[in-house]
Structure 1
Amino acid sequence: MARTNTTSRTDSDRTDLYQSITDKIITELEAGRVPWVQPWASSKASLDMPRNGKTGDRYSGINILILWDAVVANGFSTNSFLTFRQALALGGNVRKGERGTTVVYAHRFTPDSERRRASEDGREPGSIPFLKRYTVFSTDQCEGLPDRIAAPPPPVPEGLIRPEAEALIAATGADFRIGGDRAFYAPGQDYVQVPRPDAYFDPINWHRTAFHELSHWVGGRSRLDRDQTGAFGSKEYGREELIAEMGGAFVCAALGIVPTVRHADYLGSWLDIIREDNRAIVRAASAASKAANFLLDFRGELATDQPDTGGPTTWREAA
């Protein structure tokens, strides 16, 4: 009986956590604020992806949105966070009276009983998803930390943003075509098309559009293989657009390009999707994070000249 109560309480806690995250996102969207497009111009922190100050690891998925909100709402000067114990391990501490930010850890585990049954049945064991809360603090909320941890990163130099974006797109090897009057990813032919940069009122929007469409490209069958079969206006289509919007915003942030909403007209459909399923925003943020990481991993190839493999031509003028 005690085991059943514990399981029930755990399931309830997990559901409450999904719901609390979902409720916060809905509140933001209903107010016309898009959580993955923060008002960075008024922020004290440089645009960057949130990361752990001790390990240097980047936070992913829904935690990006949670921590970006904390950075802007609290006026933090950095996107660096630590747990209470990590601050102590670094020789510092969280200042008395500071309130942390709750982030989540999503994973799966396989109970021993399931392993035994699977072994007896000759099949692969199943796993159970779980979501766990933990608290982190901005390095601004700590004292006594080493300078290399506490100092906010310098802003990205003005002239490095666009060349880095261009280099990243080229490094993907994607069939990336410039031209036409609309931006899209064609799954059947596996290419991206984006209008010329001078077709945009604000040229910086070209970069945001490019990474939005490349986030769709990442979901192609030979890469992350997301379901991209939804017809325009369907919930499946809306989910894919939500993933691409966040994925593009995450890549822009990593490159120092301030993200904005490219498809604000989808706001209503995103709200419908999130209201219907309190896990939808967590799943979408996770998929967007995977898409952004897939693209950003190509930065490792930028330092090395790549041989001509005869693959798709990049940066070509669309017919």
Structure 2
Amino acid sequence: MALPKKIQNQRKELVDKVVKDIESGKPFFWDSGHYGKQPRNLLKAIKGEDNYYKGINAMQLTIAARVNGFKDSRWATFKQAEMAGGHVKKGAKGTHIEYWQYTQDVMELNPKTGKKEPVFEINPDTGERKKKQIMLEHPIVKSYVVFNGDQIEGIEKEQLPVIKQEDKNKNMENMIKNSEAKIFF
């Protein structure tokens, strides 16, 4: 299955950016001393849950944060920003991410309403009622635009952890000691 042209173009832009940085001798984001949290969903973070972006989305958002100087690790769509009680700053440029959908809800026509509605099934072990889903033969690939928490007004700013220098040193010494590597000074 070929990727949609839009997704191919977005991936090519990312690859071109990384190649350009390599050719110009710029350090990668993982070499730059970036110690913040990995990119995560704003709505989940507000609820105290962490839903981290993975794969190419994590790379795309980490690079976008570094290039734009964003300090917040949280990202949201325009609609999610509004659901969080904020709004995207005027003129803010978003970053494209991918969503791969591998399953689909089973839908059935309701004879009373004439509308399609999801079919539910009961888990025999837990008694939990959930939507019945089927695996898709080919996944559906969608593209979304997300904005960094620094681009959203009306939300509480993210509190980044402050690590004291003595704690860094202690943790690094502990890591070296437990690595079992032979260290020569």
TM > 0.5: yes
Superposed CA RMSD = 3.4
Structure 2 CA distance, aligned partners of 1:20 and 1:155? 34
Instruction: For residues 223-253 of structure 1, give each alpha carbon's deviation from its aligned partner in whole angstroms, at most 9, with x where no partner exists.
Output: xxxxxxxxxxxxxxxxxxxxxxxxxxxxxxx
Q: CA deviation at 1:84?
A: 1.0
Contact kept, 8 Å, 1:95 with 1:143, in 2: the verdict is yes
The structure where helix makes up a greater share of residues is 1
Q: List runs of 5+ in structure 2 lacking aligned partners.
A: 46-50, 107-134
Contact kept, 8 Å, 2:7 with 2:143, in 1: the verdict is no
From 153, 171, 179, the counterpart of 1:162: 171
Structure 2 CA distance, aligned partners of 1:90 and 1:51? 14
Q: CA deviation at 1:55?
A: 0.7
Q: List runs of 5+ in structure 1 lacking aligned partners.
A: 1-6, 113-124, 171-176, 179-194, 202-319
Give the structure 1 partner of residue 44 of structure 2. 55
Give the structure 2 partner of residue 12 of structure 1. 5
Q: 1:82 to 1:59 in 2, by over 3 A?
A: same
From 137, 144, 147, the counterpart of 1:134: 144
Q: 1:70 to 1:37 in 2, by over 3 A?
A: same
Structure 2 CA distance, aligned partners of 1:40 and 1:138? 20
The structure where strand makes up a greater share of residues is 2
Letter in 2 for 1:29: I
Instruction: For residues 25-50 of structure 1, give each alpha carbon's deviation from its aligned partner in whole angstroms, at most 9, with x where no partner exists.
Output: 32233333354425237xxxx52211
Contact kept, 8 Å, 1:40 with 1:72, in 2: the verdict is no
Contact kept, 8 Å, 1:50 with 1:67, in 2: the verdict is yes
Letter in 2 for 1:39: S
Instruction: For residues 110-167 of structure 1, give each alpha carbon's deviation from its aligned partner in whole angstroms, at most 9, with x where no partner exists.
Output: 8x9xxxxxxxxxxxx773244322111111111111x3xx23313234416727x85x
Q: CA deviation at 1:72?
A: 1.7
Matched, 1:26 2:19: yes
Q: 1:28 to 1:19 in 2, by over 3 A?
A: same
Q: Please give the TM-score of this superposition, normalised by the length of structure 1.
A: 0.39
Q: How many pairs does the alignment contain?
A: 147
Moved segments of 4+, more than 6 Å: none
